[in-house]
Structure 1
Amino acid sequence: MNAAWDGDDSPVVGVVDPETDAIDAIEIDTALESVVADVDGTITSGTLETVLAAEPSVLVTGGEATLSAVARAGVDTPVVPVGPLTGIESVDRRRLPAAIEAALDGRAVRRKRPVLGVVLESADGDEWDVPAIRERALFDVTLVTDEPARISEYSLRDRGSDVATFRADGVVAATPAGSHGYASAVDAPQLSPAVNAVAVAPIGPFVTQTRQWVLPTAALTFAVEREESDASLVVDGRSVGTVTIGSQVSVSRADSLTMLAVPDDRLESA
């Protein structure tokens, strides 16, 4: 259930501005400083690590990469996303002071977004010899061949039961937020935020009538059954490992990221 968020006394507003995402840098202007000062709060900015060390009451992020980094960090601090974000309710940068004022005044609304746990278990040895790769995804998980036009065969299992085996360039599993981004380019179903599921679709399937699926996030398993090229595991746009025959990728819901939405009727002019 979504509920209004009551701000802290003397809140700390953390503005995340990692150097790797400088294009989405958020300027701390006089209006924002004034809003925070009015409630005896403070602003801290910098890399995600620096901001989290200040134990912020609320985080401000700009762009998809920064928001994904916050989800990977597993924080429980509520987040105000800023800028154009497909599939995410965000705030226009020019209205950020008004949005923060609304959040600190208790007029924001909590939105819970699912975060997926992703585990790549290598076929090159057991778990003691080759540690599993563990990641978290806010938007999507993709297996894709490293070389263009080199089709591999992928399998999909749901809670231990076979769902399908298909030949394709890859496969994507998207959360409700991610289903409006890259997954939409391969015509995957677009999911409502209220749905506790992922949309799964082949990428460049060999058979044009290959099915797509909406599946619960309890326990999905992807594997490469036959390969003509290595497949990369890509999590929220980041390549994190190589999937070979015998390896498997497990995807399940890990937890959620709390975002603060500020509907127009709750905004006041900054």
Structure 2
Amino acid sequence: MDAVWFEAEQPVVGIVDEACSDTSDDAGTRPIHVDDALEAVFADDDATIARGTLEDVLAAEPSLVVAAGESTLSAIARADPDVPVLPVGDIVGLETVERDALLDALTVALAGNATIHRRAVLGVDVDETSRDGDGSPVRALFDVALVTDEPARISEYSVSSRGKSVATFRADGVVVATPAGSHGYASAVDAPHLSSAVDAVAVTPIAPFVMQTRQWVLPEDDLTLTVKRNDTAVRLVVDDRPAETVPVDATVTIAVDGALSTLSVPDLESE
């Protein structure tokens, strides 16, 4: 549910510096420049800046985080912070602000006129082994996919929802997208576009052997994917990051694992 964001006195604005982070692989992503005008906005609101890698920024316990690029947002979602994020730049599926509008956007946000949107984040387990270093499931803000390591090599996959079989099909892979992710890569393989108001995921075969294979909108909890047969290795990819090879008959379990709060400001979002 959306809500208006109110900030306490002396906020800390975190700025993830792409030059210092491991998330600088987005095409066209570059560090957010803090000029005199932006410094003046912070001074007017008794705000301070925490800048550096994502780890450095989160350690400063920011009131909000400014982040540019899809991979930066994915990294923040994996870190699971309890802090809203102001997305900057062209990120399909999310309300963002352009770089040249960041000054106005922060002015509005620090005045308490921004809106918080809760974006579902998926947790992913492969037979409960596909976990991050802290033992938690791998997390995805946009999508989860099973894909063959070699192009045009078909494997067989099954999809189940809440313990019931949905379909079995042959394809190059299968992608599960959140509402935000359904407008990105998943859209290129004809996944349904989902509203952020829907508690569901879009599930779509990638290059299916039978062209009439369906796409599905399914509940966002207790979804399982299984590789039933493969002619080449099948890899789990989470928010465009290769995670691990998935063997035949291994169960990939996908369910909502919290949310990422993003901020939008009136009349400044880019579509």
Q: TM-score, with normalisation over the residues of structure 2?
A: 0.92
Match of 1:6 in 2: 6
1:195 to 198, 201, 205: 198
1:188 aligned counterpart, secondary structure: coil
Kept after mapping to 2: 8 A contact 1:13/1:57: yes
1:76 Cα deviation from its structure 2 partner: 1.3
1:60 aligned counterpart, secondary structure: strand
2:67 aligned with 1:27? no
Amino acid at match of 2:110: L
Q: Identity of paired residues, percent?
A: 57
Q: How many residues align?
A: 258
Match of 1:108 in 2: 114
CA 1:243–1:265 in structure 2 vs 1: closer, same or farther (change >3 Å)? closer
Kept after mapping to 2: 8 A contact 1:12/1:57: yes
1:60 Cα deviation from its structure 2 partner: 0.3
Match of 1:79 in 2: 85
Amino acid at match of 1:20: D
Kept after mapping to 1: 8 A contact 2:130/2:244: no
CA 1:265–1:139 in structure 2 vs 1: closer, same or farther (change >3 Å)? closer
RMSD: 1.3
2:97 aligned with 1:95? no
Q: Deviations over 1:96-143 (max 9, x none)?
A: 11111111101101111100111112xxxxx6xxx4433000000000
Q: Distance in 1 between matches of 2:268 and 2:88?
A: 18
2:177 aligned with 1:174? yes
CA 1:105–1:200 in structure 2 vs 1: closer, same or farther (change >3 Å)? same
Q: Distance in 2 between matches of 1:201 and 1:179?
A: 10
1:10 aligned counterpart, secondary structure: coil
1:20 Cα deviation from its structure 2 partner: 3.0
Amino acid at match of 2:107: E
2:228 aligned with 1:222? no
2:15 aligned with 1:15? yes
2:208 aligned counterpart, secondary structure: coil
Q: Distance in 2 between matches of 1:222 and 1:202?
A: 11
Q: Distance in 2 between matches of 1:72 and 1:57?
A: 18
Amino acid at match of 1:263: P
CA 1:59–1:265 in structure 2 vs 1: closer, same or farther (change >3 Å)? closer
1:89 Cα deviation from its structure 2 partner: 0.2
Structure 2 regions of 5+ residues with no counterpart?
A: 132-136
Match of 1:124 in 2: none
Q: Distance in 1 between matches of 2:253 and 2:243?
A: 14
Q: Deviations over 1:146-184 (max 9, x none)?
A: 011110000001011111000000000000100000001
Q: Distance in 2 between matches of 1:150 and 1:248?
A: 21
Q: Distance in 2 between matches of 1:211 and 1:226?
A: 20
Q: TM-score, with normalisation over the residues of structure 1?
A: 0.93
1:263 Cα deviation from its structure 2 partner: 1.6
2:67 aligned with 1:61? yes
Q: Deviations over 1:199-220 (max 9, x none)?
A: 0000010000001100011110
Structure 1 regions of 5+ residues with no counterpart?
A: 122-126
2:38 aligned with 1:36? no
Q: Distance in 2 between matches of 1:97 and 1:52?
A: 22
Kept after mapping to 2: 8 A contact 1:143/1:232: yes
Q: Distance in 2 between matches of 1:60 and 1:38?
A: 18
1:24 Cα deviation from its structure 2 partner: 3.0
Q: Deviations over 1:223-269 (max 9, x none)?
A: 10011011010000000111110211110011111111002179xxx
Q: Distance in 1 between matches of 2:180 and 2:30?
A: 19
Q: Distance in 2 between matches of 1:109 and 1:119?
A: 32
